[in-house]
Amino acid sequence: MLNGKDLGRAIEQAINKKLASGSVKSKTEIARHFNVKLPSIYDWIKKGSISKDKLPELWSYFSDVVGPEHWGLKELHTPLKKEEPSRTQNEQQFEDLFNAYLSAPAERKEIVNFLLLQNNTSEPSWVNSDTRAYITTLERQASDWLNSRENNSKPKKRPA
């Protein structure tokens, strides 16, 4: 089994072969597969260091472009483990949002609570007509942006 810089080079070569094969379009797509962010992939390459629990998946994922000898192995030994259901993109987004909410300052949490629960709760004392107007404007701009994405066109500038 390769380690250190040799493992980093092997990972980089496997990524390049996977990209060249056309089975993935970007390193970001590869990072998503491993449930990591792109900088982690660069660390794997630079440091030749990867979590041991990700190794079997690494070998399996790149098995269409490199064999066990690429990793310094005679054959692949993948430990038997229960298959964990892969997380959907929505589950990942929910977890990211939840973690962002938990790490947000109290003021931001209060704003988010009001925005998401405004029909279910009484209005906090800090909300005034300017706040309501700003929220209405934000919702309109977001709606315009979403519509323009669906139509694949640039949003038109609104007069001030």
Q: For residue range 5-63, what is the model confidence (pLDDT) as tens digits?
A: 888 899 999 999 999 999 889 999 999 999 999 999 999 999 888 888 888 888 889 99
- Report if residue 77 sits inside a domain: no
Does residue 104 share a domain with residue 46?
A: no
Range of the domain at 33: 4-71
Does residue 94 share a domain with residue 67?
A: no
First to last CA, the chain: 63
Over residues 121-149, the pLDDT tens digits come to 788 899 999 998 998 999 999 999 999 88
Does residue 47 share a domain with residue 97?
A: no
Dist. CA 18–CA 8, nearest whole Å = 15
Dist. CA 153–CA 83, nearest whole Å = 42
The DSSP secondary structure of 84-129, one letter per residue, reads: PPPPPHHHHHHHHHHHHHHHS-HHHHHHHHHHHHTTTSPPPTT--H
- Report if residue 158 sits inside a domain: no
Interhelix angle 4-21/38-47, rounded to 10 degrees, is 130
Number of domains in the chain: 2
Does residue 60 share a domain with residue 106?
A: no
- Report if residue 99 sits inside a domain: yes
